[in-house]
C-alpha cells in the first residue's frame, strides 16, 4: 500500500515528492517521470530546471564486481545542477557531476563529467557541442511563434505550413 501511495505521490506532485525524499529543488522546476538513486539527499537542482524521464545516479554500482573482496566499499558522490537547465528525455546524470547554469542536455545523453555554464552537451558520454547563444540563434531562425496557441489553432497553423 505504501509503494502505491509513493507511486501516485511521485506522479501527481513530482516536486513535492523530490523534496520529500531529500532532493534540494529550486523554484520553477519541472520534473516529469524523474528517478533518483539511493542517495537523493546528495542531489541539488537549481531554479528553472526541466527534466523528463531522467535518472540521477549518485552511486557507482560497478563496485559489485569486487564487493565479495571489499564488502564495505561504496563510491558515492553528489550531483549539482545549476539554474536554467533543460535535461532532455531519457538522460542519465552520473555521480559527481556538476552541470552549470544555462545548459541544455540533449535527449538520451549520459552525463559522466561536468558541463560548464552556457553550453549545450549531448551524447554517450555527453560532450559539449556548442554554446547556448549559438543554439538559441539556430533555433530562433527555425522556429514558429505558436507556443500559446490552443490545440485547434496550432493544428491549423502547422497543417497549412506543412501542406498536410
Instruction: Give tens-digit pLDDT for 124-134.
Output: 999 999 999 99
CA distance 164 to 161: 8
Cα 1 to its chain centre, rounded Å, is 29
| 54-74: average pLDDT | 95
- Is-above-0.75 flag for pTM? yes
Looking at residue 50, what is its pLDDT?
98
**Domains of the chain, each with CATH number or no CATH:** 2-131 (2.160.10.10)
Whether 58 contacts 95, CB under 8 Å: yes
Q: Considering only CA atoms, which of 48, 12, 51, 13 is closest in space to residue 35?
A: 51
Q: Can you tell me whether residue 30 is helix, strand or coil?
A: strand
Whether 76 contacts 95, CB under 8 Å: yes
| 85-108: average pLDDT | 98
CA distance 148 to 154: 9
- pLDDT for residue 159 is more than 90: yes
Looking at residue 147, what is its pLDDT?
92
- pLDDT for residue 10 is more than 90: no
Amino acid at each position: 500500500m505504501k509503494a502505491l501511495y509513493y507511486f501516485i505521490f511521485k506522479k501527481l506532485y513530482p516536486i513535492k515528492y523530490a523534496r520529500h525524499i531529500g532532493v534540494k529543488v529550486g523554484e520553477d522546476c519541472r520534473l516529469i517521470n524523474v528517478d533518483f538513486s539511493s542517495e537523493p539527499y546528495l542531489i541539488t537542482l537549481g531554479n528553472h530546471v526541466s527534466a523528463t524521464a531522467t535518472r540521477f545516479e549518485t552511486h557507482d554500482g560497478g563496485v559489485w564486481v569486487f564487493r565479495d573482496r571489499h564488502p564495505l566499499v561504496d563510491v558515492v558522490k553528489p550531483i549539482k545542477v545549476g539554474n536554467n537547465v533543460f535535461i532532455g528525455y531519457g538522460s542519465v546524470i552520473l555521480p559527481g557531476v556538476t552541470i552549470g547554469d544555462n545548459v541544455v542536455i540533449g535527449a538520451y545523453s549520459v552525463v559522466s563529467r561536468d558541463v560548464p555554464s552556457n553550453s549545450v552537451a549531448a551524447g554517450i558520454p555527453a560532450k559539449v557541442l556548442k554554446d547556448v547563444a549559438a543554439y538559441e540563434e539556430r533555433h530562433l531562425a527555425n522556429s514558429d511563434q505558436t507556443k500559446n496557441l490552443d490545440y485547434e489553432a496550432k493544428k491549423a497553423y502547422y497543417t497549412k505550413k506543412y501542406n498536410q
